[in-house]
A and B are shown apart, each in its own frame.
Chain A
């Protein structure tokens, strides 16, 4: 008597698991071969070239509606994909200092920033924001809403979409190998700094399987070529 509902529940569960395991990526409408070249140029243009130092105020929105503000200093070199990141209190106390030069090296980390997982995640976020994806372009074109998109396969088998929503705004969307959205960066441009277009504001959203995990709002204070 109870077998039928149990079977339905089991089927629903399996279906839900299958759906979550194989989420599909947003569809890209193809464009002509000439437009593909121009689109690739535009997508590459969102990442700063050369050596830079950025200072941001970082507003963190945490689960439960809690908020905090810290300062972030990022030093990047696009050519060798090296980055150094510092997090400090507004009073100037350094809470976290790590660099990535082929491998992660933590110079300083105090609680609650003293886990390897945090350092790894932060460096991944910095690489996502400042460096063009390493993997090949697997598709480019337009989304249904007209936004221009370049889709890259990542080394880990995931996907990164560079989405140019308007002249002053762009987005990065990071998907897992199962095509689940794991991170999103929304950028608003500041205009030119040393001939390059630098985002004035960045919103970094990280998603867990259960929903949004945290959000960081970065406001540019300073961008200096090094």
Chain B
């Protein structure tokens, strides 16, 4: 009898621990901020799929990201186009590899993704609410939904869904909905946390 109750007690404790691990950091903005504070650096690979009904199949890109708190980010596409977005102390620069050389972008592209990039840095810092660009709400299933506050920006991005991972402070995937039927989905994998990242990672190399 005693053995049985000990067993069920252990089981309950394991289940509680599992439940805390799954939902323990995504219940409120305070919990999310607290979990993010414990993450100083992230390295991950990502796969990006661009869905549109007119496309025969989605466009797939792969890349990797390095993040070091509070505002250093290296967002690099490896395939099919080699490109690099660097945010060092908050300043964003974009490069493309043309004829084997990293060339700074002439600025043909809009600032929309740069805004998203700055947003990602904010998210990695656990700052979803009190955001001047997006109105945020906590949804079910560890999901955060962000809707542009500005009508002009809403013509570019309808909403963003951020899916949080079980591991505290980590984002599992991001879905960016654009007007029409355009959806960009980013999934992160091979995530490592809190390893030291050298300053040079956030600067342009050859």
Contacts and interface: CB of A to CB of B under 8 A. Distances in A.
Interface of A: 53, 55, 57, 59-60, 62, 66-71, 73, 75, 84, 86, 88-95, 97, 107-108, 110-112, 221, 224, 226
Contacts of B179: 108
B59 to A, nearest CB: 7
B96 interface: yes
Given A68-B105, A68-B106, A89 B113 contact: yes
B77 interface: yes
A76 B164 CA distance: 40
B107 A68 contact: yes
Q: Which of A62, A69, A92, A97 has the most CB of B within 10 A?
A: A92
Interface in B78-103: 80-81, 83, 85, 96, 98, 103
A108 B180 contact: yes
B187 to A, nearest CB: 13
Nearest to A221: B80
Contacts of B103: 67
A68 B96 contact: yes
Contacts, number: 88
A90 B98 contact: no
Interface stretch (B47-55, B127-135, B139-147): B47-55
A interface: dominant SS: strand
A176 B113 CA distance: 39
Nearest to B117: A91
18 contacts: A60-B106, A66-B107, A70-B108, A84-B54, A88-B50, A89-B109, A89-B112, A89-B113, A90-B81, A90-B96, A92-B59, A92-B176, A93-B178, A93-B184, A108-B179, A110-B112, A111-B110, A112-B108
Contacts of B116: 91
Contacts of A110: 110, 112, 155-156
Contacts of A60: 106, 108
Which of A71, A93, A221 has the most C-beta atoms of chain B within 10 angstroms of its own C-beta? A93
B56 interface: yes
Contacts of B81: 57, 69, 71, 90
B182 interface: yes
